[in-house]
Structure 1
Amino acid sequence: MSLDKLAGLSGLSKSFLSRAERGLRALDRRSHIAALASALRVSETDLVGGPHLGPDPVQAEPHSYISPLRVALETNSFHADPVVEQARPLPELAALMRGKVEKHRRAYDFITVGKYLPDLIDELHWHVAAPADEAAQRLALETLVEAYMCAAGMARSLRHPDLSQFAAMRADEATVLLDDPIARGKAAFSVVRPNAANWHRVKALAERAADRLEPHVRNDRDVPVLGMLTLNAALAAAASHDQHAAEHWLNEAADPARRVPDDLHGNWQAFSKTNVAIWRVTVGVEIGKAGGEIAELAKDVTEAKLDDHPGRKTCFLADVGRGLARDPRYRDDAIRWLRRSEDTAPQRFRNDPKIAETIAVMLEQARVTSQGREFRRMAARLGVPH
């Protein structure tokens, strides 16, 4: 297919496609990936590649836990007998999910999460099928929602989008049984994640989920759920090339953020004033901001507040690095931000295709020997040809 034809089908400029083809421009914006995949009639995974497992155990070992997680998701059901004959006490399982699993999820420690999650899902289904009473069944379902959302996040980060969506839909099934609009909102955050090819549909679903939940928000515990759905809508709008709507939803998120403590550790999904500022960076990178514009947005984030949430911190640092990398004048700063992101959560960093694309382009553009060596070392850890 000629670049002229591809440009016409994708809505991307011929010059951009030419530079991307030669490795001089990063194909790291969700909207660009979706448009190009649609024009070429391939999936996004086909275009950017599935998981590339290199010799680095930090990058490769998390993927060994995907298979048992897939088995747990495929063999458990709300309409069949449990797959295990006995389970640990429900309070113990709930404490495990809220404690150790949640702690390592926040750190993007997929290896530790992967060791616990499949058995946890199996045993929670046992309690759902044979509850001691109604309160026990609700606790089992509520904990299962969080477990399935954790599974969805892990699968998405490790580039298994089909498994991620399956886990998110299982979380939604559990909330239907709970008949709780707040729990349904939590599941919607996983179901309607901005990672699909049809961005306009994702945007509509995200906006609808936020609007549907708003009348049911009663207290400060509910507010973060609405806030995270609103941020989802902002990112989906940005990926749909609707910058006005993206700004609208970011501003909408600022209001509920003022109603809760600025505490990433205590609030659901770390929703807070600081998290809204982080998402402004993420949305800014998605709509194409670069260099100084991203540096200015980053100034609104107090990094000290991220120390208790390494997952949010590594994503913030990586997004700033990716945005800075688009401007050659900020290349040195970009590599420093990216290196700090890798140090914060290496399993997450070394499995992110957007980061890998940024590093590959920076490697191609590198002209200074010292820079080239740094890029090659980072590229090796990401499994990028160098």
Structure 2
Amino acid sequence: MGDEATIGARLRTLRRWRRMTLAQVAGQAGLSTGFLSMAERGLRTLDRRSHIAALAAALRVSEADLTGGAYLSADLVQAEPHITIPNLRAALLTNTLTAPAVADARPLTELVAEMARIDRSEHKFTDVGRMLPGLIDELHVHACAPVDEAAYRLALSTLIDAFQTATFVPKDLGYGDLASIAAMRASEVARTLGDPISLGKAASLRVHTLPTTSWQVKLRTAETAAEALQPQVADGLGIQVLGMLTLASALAATVAHNAGRADHWLAQADQLARRIPDTPGENWGAFSVSNVAVWRIALAVERGESGGTVLNLARHVDERRLAARSGRHSAFLADIGRALARERRTRGEAVQWLLRAERVAPHKIRNDVKVKETVAVMLEQGKGASLDRELRGMASRMGVAH
């Protein structure tokens, strides 16, 4: 396991290991035998969360077994972020709120400013490895020996922001266990602080790192957190945190095939976003009108909407507003490329969108499981034809055999 180019190829290996027929897996996963047969041969993409979760449950394996774990290619841009993971893991595991791993720390104001720089960095994957482990160490020094109550609370709230970054970067790189640890550390700090917004931030991280074999559980968790925070929110940061919880609820409902709840939470997110400035680069979680539009596209791709439908939704997104959030911007471009790649007549256009996504955030895109699946399947579909040089180049940078 691990060398197969597509998720479908790994599906075939795991299905045979379980001694299950294609029809048995298809029946238990609620998918058609014909679709899975084509997926196993690399002719259809398995990049929708609902499909992957259903197949993992049918095979009684983890999603990582299907999607493949962290992969290091010969491309330095793709591989570099992985080198930083051991230091981040050490910072998460060796510090506690009563015993920091180091003895000294810079002034708290410097650490707060550094966290803000990391959060807005265009090179977050590499900056995380270079800056975040030490920052977590030093914030624990201030949390364990604060000069006063205000400094104590500031150190703890900044730790939650550090744990947020320490959740999503490892998650994007394929280190789900580390992302879960970071989310649990954020919950520990939020409970200590006790304020609704901190608890809402931590709940958002927990939703994104819960095991995905049951999206109904994710949906209940997200909805409960959103409903608990709603009465506590008036403006500003509270709206942004609540907004991200409503988007998490919409995603969970979409994957759980609950269209009514998904529409409800997406409408809630849209209403909340209109109450704050459309400044993704400055808002918590990038929550904003522009980010809601990006999520609307992501949910359409998850539902399997056509490339044409997704392109129409994309016309409502002002990419200039996303420029300060390269991760959000690249995800938007990649989602459009993935949707276009599902239809033969728009695959050439899909490559151009995926290449744009890669140019915006190469570390992120070259480590994106869904993009890698799309590239691998397009290569398989193009066998026997003159393969596009740009597609083969992207495959090479992602470590996809071609």
TM tier relative to shorter chain: over 0.9
Contact 1:291–1:329, Cα closer than 8 Å, also in 2: no
Aligned partner (choices 98, 101, 104) of residue 83 of structure 1: 101
In the TM superposition, structure 1's runs of 4+ consecutive aligned residues that sit over 3 Å from their partners are: 367-372
Aligned partner (choices 273, 284, 288) of residue 257 of structure 1: 273
Equivalent AA in structure 1 for residue 144 of structure 2: A
Whether 2:311 is the aligned partner of 1:295: answer yes
Q: What's 1:174 paired with?
A: 189
Residue 316 of structure 2 aligns to a residue whose secondary structure is coil
Q: Distance in 2 between matches of 1:52 and 1:271?
A: 30
Residue 277 of structure 2 aligns to a residue whose secondary structure is coil
Equivalent AA in structure 2 for residue 102 of structure 1: D
Q: What's 1:67 paired with?
A: 86
Whether 2:21 is the aligned partner of 1:2: answer yes
Aligned partner (choices 7, 10, 30) of residue 49 of structure 2: 30
Contact 1:311–1:345, Cα closer than 8 Å, also in 2: yes
After the TM superposition, which of the residue ranges 148-157 and 371-380 deviates more from structure 2?
371-380
- Offset at 1:11? 1.1
Whether 2:114 is the aligned partner of 1:96: answer yes
Aligned partner (choices 45, 53, 59) of residue 72 of structure 2: 53
Q: Distance in 1 between matches of 2:124 and 2:226?
A: 29
Contact 1:262–1:272, Cα closer than 8 Å, also in 2: yes
Alignment of 1:177-192 (within 5 A): 177-192=192-207
Q: Distance in 1 between matches of 2:223 and 2:341?
A: 31
Q: What's 1:268 paired with?
A: 284
Contact 2:279–2:321, Cα closer than 8 Å, also in 1: yes
Q: What's 1:19 paired with?
A: 38
After the TM superposition, which of the residue ranges 107-116 and 306-315 deviates more from structure 2?
107-116
Q: Distance in 1 between matches of 2:386 and 2:227?
A: 51
Q: Distance in 2 between matches of 1:45 and 1:108?
A: 25
Equivalent AA in structure 2 for residue 150 of structure 1: T
Query: Deviation string for 1:95-124 (max 9, x for gaps)?
Result: 11112x1122xx353112211111111111
Equivalent AA in structure 2 for residue 95 of structure 1: A
Query: Deviation string for 1:197-216 (max 9, x for gaps)?
Result: 21110011111111110001
Change in Cα spacing, 1:202 to 1:108, as seen in structure 2 (3 Å) is farther
After the TM superposition, which of the residue ranges 144-153 and 363-372 deviates more from structure 2?
363-372
User: Where in structure 1 are there 5+ consecutive unaligned residues?
Assistant: none
Contact 2:120–2:324, Cα closer than 8 Å, also in 1: no
Q: What's 2:237 paired with?
A: 221
Q: Distance in 1 between matches of 2:233 and 2:107?
A: 31
Equivalent AA in structure 1 for residue 251 of structure 2: L
Q: Distance in 2 between matches of 1:193 and 1:26?
A: 23
Q: Distance in 2 between matches of 1:8 and 1:59?
A: 37
Q: Distance in 1 between matches of 2:109 and 2:86?
A: 27
Q: What's 2:13 paired with?
A: none
Residue 84 of structure 2 aligns to a residue whose secondary structure is helix
Identity of aligned residues (%): 52
Residue 262 of structure 1 aligns to a residue whose secondary structure is coil
Report the RMSD for the aligned CA atoms in angstroms: 1.3
Q: Distance in 1 between matches of 2:392 and 2:54?
A: 30
Contact 1:108–1:311, Cα closer than 8 Å, also in 2: no
Q: Distance in 1 between matches of 2:379 and 2:258?
A: 31
Aligned partner (choices 153, 162, 169) of residue 177 of structure 2: 162
User: Which TM-score applies when normalising by structure 1?
Assistant: 0.96
Equivalent AA in structure 2 for residue 283 of structure 1: L
Equivalent AA in structure 1 for residue 345 of structure 2: R
Q: What's 1:327 paired with?
A: 343
User: Which TM-score applies when normalising by structure 2?
Assistant: 0.93
User: Where in structure 2 are there 5+ consecutive unaligned residues?
Assistant: 1-19
Q: Distance in 1 between matches of 2:288 and 2:100?
A: 38
Q: Distance in 2 between matches of 1:366 and 1:259?
A: 47
